[in-house]
Each structure stands twice: as structure tokens, then as C-alpha cells.
Amino acid sequence: MELLGFIVLIACLVVGVRYGGLGLAAISGIGLVFFVFGIGLVPGKPPIAVMLTIMAVVTCSGFLQASKGLDVMLKYAEKILRRNPEKVTILAPITTWFLTVLCGTGHVVYTMFPIIYDVAIKQNIRPERPMAVSSVAAQMGIGASPASVAVVSVVSMLAATSHPFSVVQVLSVSMPATLCGVIVAALWSLKRGKDLANDPEFQAKIADPEQRAYIYEEQGEDSSHRELPKSAYKATFIFLAGIVVIALFGSFPKELLPLVPNSKGIWAPLSMTPTIQLSMLVIAAIILLVCKVKSSDVVNGSVFKSGMVAVVSVYGVAWMAETYFGAYLPGFKKTLSQVVLDYPWTYAIVLFLISKLVNSQAAALAIVVPMALNIGVDPIIILSFISACYGYFVLPTYPSDLACIGFDRSGTTRIGKFVINHSFIIPGFIGIATGCCVGYVIAHLLY
């Protein structure tokens, strides 16, 4: 049944990805029905917290776009990038990584995709080069963010060991490790794929005037020189100030966040997941009130539409995956525990695999770190390989990857014929491998 279920899972992904985000969610429903009615598995729980976080971030980003705050970012991004436009492949992923570090969630990358695409396509740079690695970079930033659930969880779990690490100590390893991974992946991306001028598939597309206008979105004006209303700058300031506030909440939860009873009935600071959700909604509300944004403009914006498609994709795909892996995960954990006991360095591989199974860095750490500590893995090893908690890029089902594909109107960022040969696979492996190596060296030098 395990093998049959896995075959059905992969089949649904293979068929679903051919119909886009919404189609993928719908086809996943077939797999879910098979698991529940066909082989009697207990339905898993849809990732409601993730979905709500995406909705909150997308709503905020939608208001930012409708207020033309995105245009402000694009204007200044273009001013910087046009000086050395070939460096968009390096600068874009560093930007998305930094944005995630500030606010603790990689879903804010939806705000940056339109900017990255616009800058790249107007410079005739293959959009896949900066966009794919930027999506990977945004998720790698979670392991380096003081506002992320993943980092806070690791600090909490290591606090009870003989070698506890503070938030600052964890970040002293994870920040340079993940940033180095992002930079190396970006360097590799500089020459990936064919140049647009030499890509016959792309040239065939732009031979059609309508397709060309869609791909290049020709407006007759360089947005880096466009005059924007004062309300657009106000919206940008509100958004960036809000991200700073979220970062402060994550850095000083005991001092700034209200105390609420946790699952064990112990009073503790409000977790970052609802904090981010609430903060994003408040930021959206302030932009709405201060900048006089029309709600209809938000709903009709590309950021909001792509983000809502991502929510539906998560609902279908993650629910199906949770149902399958939730049923068989106890057996997986037992087998993998013995491997880690015999070869402690394989902790990184186990963490990477579990992350792919559960599609969450925080959830993977919550499963693997206690297991590793229970069997005697050195806490320094756990700190060294924190980059490995990002493994869900292996299959292109994560919402930010799906959204990235949607925002690339040129079609160069894509899912390959065999599913596994997609735009994110190589940058992801390069980033994680580099991050683990750098993290191992830094952790052992410092601690």
C-alpha cells in the first residue's frame, strides 16, 4: 500500500502540473479520494496556518501593488540594476533572501517577482536565471531569520540540551551559511539556459505581436524615470516599516508580544505565525486608509490573483501529501533514526528528506531535531546543517515556486517534461549543499 500510494501521489503531481496551479489542486483531489476511500487512510489536516499566512501576505502585497508601492520598488530597483543590468541574477536573490530574513516568511517573495521579471525581460536577460534562484533564496532566508518559526523552534529545542544556543548564536551560523548558498547558486545561474536571442522556443513566441506585447508588457515608458504619486511612496514606507516591526517582534518576543496559553497550557509569547498574519493585515489596512486604495484594484492585480492561485494549490497538494506521509511517517522516522545514529553526518540528509515530505522547514525541524537529540546527535551538528531544513524545492509544488512560474510571462521558468527537471532543482541543491558546508565550518570554528 505504501508503494501504491506513492505511485498515485507522483502520478497526480505529474498530471496536475500540466494544468497549472488550480489544475494541480484539482487533480490532487483525486489522489486524496483514493487515499481515503481506496486504501482507508485517515485524511490529513490541510496546512491552514500556511494558507492563512499566504493569504495575509498576498493581501498586503496586493494593497501595495494597487497603491503603486510596488512601482516605487521597481523604480529604484531598475535605477540600480540598469547600471549593471547583467547583475540582476546576483542582486535579485540577495534581495529576496534579505526580505525573508526581515519578515520571517518566504511568501513575501510574491512582491518581488514582478519586479525581477520586469527588470530581466527589459534587459533581454533570460528571466529564469534571476527568478528561479530568487524563489530558492527566499526560502533559504527562513533559516536565517530571527522572525521565522524555524529559527525560534531550533533555539527552543536546543535550550534544554547540554549545549544551548541563543538566537544570536544560531544566526551567526545560519545567516552567513544561507547567504553563501544563495550567492553560489546565483553565480551558477548567470549562464543557465540559452540566451533569449538564441532560444528558438522564445523567438517563436515573440514572433506573434500579441505574445510579444504580453511578454514585454510594452508601456512606452521606462519605469525608472516615471513620476509616481506621493501615496505610492507612503505605501512603500508603510510596508517596509511594517516588515521592520515584524522583525522586531521576532527578535524580542518576550518584550513585545502578548502572553497567551500555548498547547500545554503554559503562558508564552504569541507565536510568530499569527503575529505575521495579524501584522500583514494591519499593514494592508493602513495602506488602504492612508493611500485611499480601491479594493477592486487589489482584487484585479496580478499579485493578488497569483497569490490566491498559490493558496488553492497548497490546499490541494499539501492536503494530499499530508494524508499519505502522515499515515506512513512513523515508519519512516524509525528507519531514519537508526541511520542517523550510525552516521551522525547523515542528519543533514534526513532533515532534507523530511522537509520534502512535510513541505515545511519548521515542521521538519520539529520532527528531526528532537529525534536527533534523543539518539545523541551533537547539537553543533544540528546547528551546522540548519540549511538542510529546506528540501521542498525537489518537487515543484511549493506555492512560491508555482507563483514564480506564473509571474514569468516568457515561459522560461518552468516545470520540465519529467517534472523533476524544473527550474528550481539545481539552484536549490547548490544553495543547500553550499549552506551546509559553510555552516559546518563556521559552527565548528565558533563553537
pLDDT surpasses 70 at 9: yes
pLDDT of residue 313: 74
pLDDT tens, position by position, 290-305? 998 888 888 888 778 7
Q: Is the pLDDT of residue 40 over 70?
A: yes
Whether the CB-CB separation of 235 and 71 falls below 8 Å is answered with no
- The DSSP secondary-structure symbol of 416 reads -
> For position 187, what pLDDT does the model report?
97
pLDDT digits (tens, 9 = 90+) for 389-446: 999 899 887 878 888 888 888 889 988 777 788 899 999 999 999 999 999 999 999 9
Over residues 311-330, the pLDDT tens digits come to 787 788 778 877 887 787 67
Q: How high is the pLDDT of residue 334? A: 67
SS (H, E, C) 150-202: HHHHHHHHHCCCCCCCCHHHHHHHHHHHHHHHHHHHHHHHCCCCCCHHHCHHH
Over range 123-147, report the average pLDDT: 91
Residue with cell 534523543: 374
Using alpha carbons only, how large is the chain's radius of gyration in Å?
22
Question: What's the confidence (pLDDT) of residue 186?
Answer: 97
Confidence of residue 74 (pLDDT cuts 50, 70, 90): low
Residues 137/431, Cβ–Cβ less than 8 Å = yes
Query: pLDDT value at position 315?
Result: 81
Residue 118 has pLDDT above 90, yes or no: no
Which residue, 47, 43, 25, 24, is CA-closest to 35?
43
Largest Cα span, the chain: 66
Average pLDDT, stretch 33-62?
84
DSSP 268: E
Question: Mean pLDDT across the stretch 114-136?
Answer: 90
Q: How far apart are CA 337 and CA 158, in angstroms?
A: 18
Query: Which pLDDT value is given to residue 219?
Result: 40
Q: What is the pLDDT of residues 249-292, one digit of tens each?
A: 877 878 888 988 876 788 888 877 788 789 889 999 999 999 98
| pLDDT, greater one: 19 or 130 | 130
The string over 128-160, giving b where at least 16 C-beta atoms fall within 10 Å of a residue's C-beta and e elsewhere, is bbbbbbbbbbbbbbbbbbbbbbbbbbbbebbee
pLDDT at 80 (0 to 100): 73
Per-residue pLDDT at 220: 41
Predicted confidence (pLDDT) per residue in 221-259, tens digit: 455 667 888 999 999 899 888 878 877 887 787 888 898
Per-residue model confidence as pLDDT tens digits over 332-371: 666 666 677 777 788 899 889 878 876 778 778 877 888 7
User: Of residues 111 and 205, which shows the higher confidence score?
Assistant: 205
Which one has a higher pLDDT value, 111 or 187? 187
Nearest to 70 by CA among 427, 440, 415, 407: 407
Residue bearing the bigger pLDDT, 135 or 106: 135
Whole-number average pLDDT of the chain: 84
